[in-house]
Amino acid sequence: MSWHSVIGQERIKKILQRSFATGKISHAYLFHGPEGTGKDAAAIAFAKLLNCEQPIDGNSCDTCSGCRRISSLQHPNVQFIVPMPVGKNEKEGDDPFKNLDQEAISEYRQAFGRKSENPYYRISLSKANTIKINSIRELRKSINLARAERGKKVIIISGADKMNDNAANSLLKTLEEPTPNTVLILTTSNHDKLLPTIISRCQMVRFELLREEEIKKGLMEKNNTNEEQQAILISKMANGSFQRALELTGTDLVSQREEMIDLLRSILARSPSIWMKEIEDFLGPKDRYNVVRSLMLLNLWVRDALMLQNENGDAIINLDQRKPLDKFITHFHQAELTSVIYAIERAIALVEKNIYLSLVLLNLAFDIRQFILRR
């Protein structure tokens, strides 16, 4: 069933299933909410339902020709629009693909191949900052053509907030003149950047952050993440985004966690001249994203220490770290761990704001010493 590809969002599934069952299908939807919460995945699943040859109780069969071709994003009734690069000498009115070089076309095909395998994959093409007017004009042409097959035409505009002004105004004309048997689905994480007149002509569907349990279940069932401990760590770090969770699955979180714990021990036990050098070595090969991930792992570990300090051992996340955590709490039983957690969270926020990394981590190290050593 197509809805199985959508993690969580049960309320939204019921809304779309009900609209299908009653025949009250809007000509335009705006799927909006945080990044990575399944807006594109739900749009594809809904497109399947609207074109399925054997729908059952608000679910597509996932086996008919229509479902299989939509899964591979190759059904003539379904069009998927994303930001694209501008071709050499491209003019208004040109086919959006006409002047692209072979490298750009190859990247486009590869990206859509990944999207068909994983509807949570975020398509981001080189030099593609906006949805072009030519892409929207091509959309308007296709809407006016007869459907190639039974079912409904479904136009999915992913990252709709990336439309330039001309593209947005062109789309507005389409929304003002709905075409029978055609459904437009706009997806965005920044709906406030869309024209108010576009928003007013769409049925708003709000996607919420995913629960940790939903992310964990999705990882273990759909992404072959067999180790429960790894899935738990990822679900805690994903901040409600399955897309971010998938990005974390290819990393060795256990090794990164050990690296941070070793650095914590050094900060607490060795002279500043030594751990300052270790911080610089730690930062050497890492970008900001990796530093944030490492700090999040440290935060989860300190959070577990706080749980033990409060005699709530059943709530710890890093189950394989029970002995080191017990030892830490015994040695630093008066540590102000809540203050340490706040300090790490401030450091994460500063790293994300592009503050100088060395300065952020050095200040964090001094805060950690103050709150744990109490001096």
As a three-state string, the secondary structure of the chain is: CHHHHCCCCHHHHHHHHHHHHHCCCCCEEEEECCCCCCHHHHHHHHHHHHHCCCCECCECCCCCHHHHHHHCCCCCCEEEECCCCCCCCCCCCCCCCCCCCHHHHHHHHHHHHHHHHCCCCCCCCCCCCCECHHHHHHHHHHHHCCCCCCCCEEEEEECHHHECHHHHHHHHHHHHCCCCCEEEEEEECCHHHCCHHHHCCCEEEECCCCCHHHHHHHHHHHCCCCCHHHHHHHHHHCCCCHHHHHHHCCCCHHHHHHHHHHHHHHHHHCCHHHHHHHHHHHHCCCCHHHHHHHHHHHHHHHHHHHHHHCCCHHHCCCHHHHHHHHHHHHHCCCCCHHHHHHHHHHHHHHHHCCCCHHHHHHHHHHHHHHHHHCC
Same domain for 9 and 96, yes or no, is: yes
Average pLDDT over residues 264-291: 88
* Predicted pLDDT of residue 336: 93
**Percent of the chain topping pLDDT 90:** 34
Residues 6 or more apart whose CB falls under 8 angstroms from that of 220 comprise: 226, 228, 231
Least confident of 26-35, 175-184, 336-345: 175-184
Tell me what pLDDT residue 223 has.
61
CB atoms within 10 A of CB 30: 24
For residues 122 and 176, state if they share a domain.
yes
Q: Which residue, of 208, 225, 240, is where some domain finishes?
A: 208
* Position 344 pLDDT exceeds 90: yes
**Model confidence at 342: pLDDT above 90:** yes
The answer on 268 and 193 residing in a single domain is: no
| Whether residue 49 is found in the same domain as residue 180 | yes
Q: Do 240 and 306 belong to one domain?
A: no
Instruction: Give, in degrees to the nearest 5, the angle at Cα 243 between 47 and 124.
Output: 80
- What was the pLDDT predicted at 104? 85
> Do 258 and 351 lie in a common domain?
yes
Please give the pLDDT value at position 185: 95
Q: Is the pLDDT of residue 329 over 70?
A: yes
Looking at the fold, whether 276 and 154 belong to one and the same domain comes out as: no
Structure tokens at 214: 């939903």
Residue 184's pLDDT band, with cuts at 50, 70 and 90, is very high
- Give residue 146's pLDDT band: very low, low, confident or very high (50, 70, 90): low
Q: Give the strands of the sheet with 182-188, arranged side by side.
A: 78-81, 153-158, 182-188, 28-32, 203-206
Amino acid at position 209, single letter: L
Q: Which two tokens stand for residue 210?
A: 């995913």
195 and 68 part of one domain: yes
Cα separation, 305 vs 324, in Å, equals 9
- Residues 181 and 236 reside in one and the same domain: no
286-310 pLDDT tens trace: 788 888 889 988 998 999 999 998 8
Q: Are residues 244 and 259 in the same domain?
A: no
What's residue 147's pLDDT?
63
Structural domain range at position 34: 2-208
For 70, other C-beta atoms within 10 Å of its C-beta total 28
Distance CA 294, CA 290 (A): 6
pLDDT of residue 375: 64
pLDDT recorded at residue 1: 56
Give Cα 255 distance to the centre of its chain: 24
Of 248, 273, 305, the residue at which a domain comes to its end is 248
User: pLDDT at position 91, please?
Assistant: 78
Q: Calculate mean pLDDT across residues 251-264.
A: 86
CATH number at residue 48: 3.40.50.300
Count of residues in the chain = 375
On whether both 166 and 33 belong to a single domain, the answer is: yes
Same domain, 148 and 170: yes
How many domains, in total, are found in the chain?
A: 3
Instruction: Give me the pLDDT at residue 16, please.
Output: 93
| Cβ pair 185, 16 in contact under 8 A | no
> Across the chain, what does the average pLDDT equal?
87
pLDDT in tens, 194-242: 999 999 999 999 999 999 999 988 888 876 555 777 788 888 878 889 9
Looking at 223, 248, 273, which one is the last position of a domain?
A: 248
**What are 83-136's pLDDT values in tens digits?**
988 878 777 777 778 888 888 888 889 988 888 888 888 888 888 888 888 888
In sign, the C-alpha dihedral spanning 13, 14, 20, 26 is negative
